[in-house]
Amino acid sequence: MRLAVIPARGGSKRIPRKNIKHFHGKPMIAYAIAAAIGSDLFDRVIVSTDDTEIALIARERGAETPFNRPSELADDHTPTLPVIAHAIRACQSMGWDVREVCCIYPGVPFISSQDLRKAYEQLQMPDTSYVFPVTGFPSPIQRALRRLPDGSVRPFNPAYATTRTQDLEPSYFDVGQFYWGKTAAWLQGLNLHLNSVALLIPAWRVVDIDTPEDWQRAELFYTTLSEKGLL
């Protein structure tokens, strides 16, 4: 069985009720659910939540909520790995034969079903535990600067202070959309970033929504891309 798990707790602090707040006319979590269902990859799409309203909206959008996430796995400091491991064990206890699991975060309005499929193909490579999307930093990290209290700046790495940017190795970051993984990897708690293959996606499909200002900017961006037929 291929399983999609969308971890959506109810206690968002910076943007209250972020996971079900309406984004461009739909509850935010609807985008993750739609991408999972639209990929035609999953035998089950479930939402792991401690919140009854989130569970209701998730079911209305086509996901399942076969268990309640315990409160000790729903605070600000709970990492992803134990939440997904708990979901797998809960599903296994119901007799589900879970082989591969994709954790899809709930706040991902720019997620692509095609990316989910491409990442799944990469997961089939030998000795691959996880696959997740990355994109390139907009500027070389080797040339990063620190700003001192008096306003002056110094390079983090003086060795590259005069190196041409085109001569520097490209660098990438985790875009925080989803993680495909083998069930054994999730249950063993293997580190995501030390045991993965990366899927490169374009930077224009990457947003980080942590503040109300981020939210407004993302909605404007979404509107523009929708009008141009890019979503």
Burial of 176 (0-12, 13-18, 19+ CB in 10 A): middle
Residue 177 backbone phi and psi in degrees, to 5: -105, -50
10-residue mean pLDDT series, the chain (231 residues)? 96 89 96 98 98 97 97 90 98 97 97 98 97 96 96 95 93 97 98 97 93 95 90 81
What is residue 154's predicted lDDT score, i.e. its pLDDT?
96
What is residue 48's predicted lDDT score, i.e. its pLDDT?
98
What is residue 77's predicted lDDT score, i.e. its pLDDT?
86
- The domain 2-133+173-227 belongs to what CATH superfamily? Spore Coat Polysaccharide Biosynthesis Protein SpsA; Chain A (3.90.550.10)
d(CA 47, CA 4): 8
d(CA 36, CA 113): 7
Decide: 5 and 49 in contact? Cβ < 8 Å.
Answer: no
What is residue 62's predicted lDDT score, i.e. its pLDDT?
98
d(CA 216, CA 149): 31
Q: Give the pTM.
A: 0.94
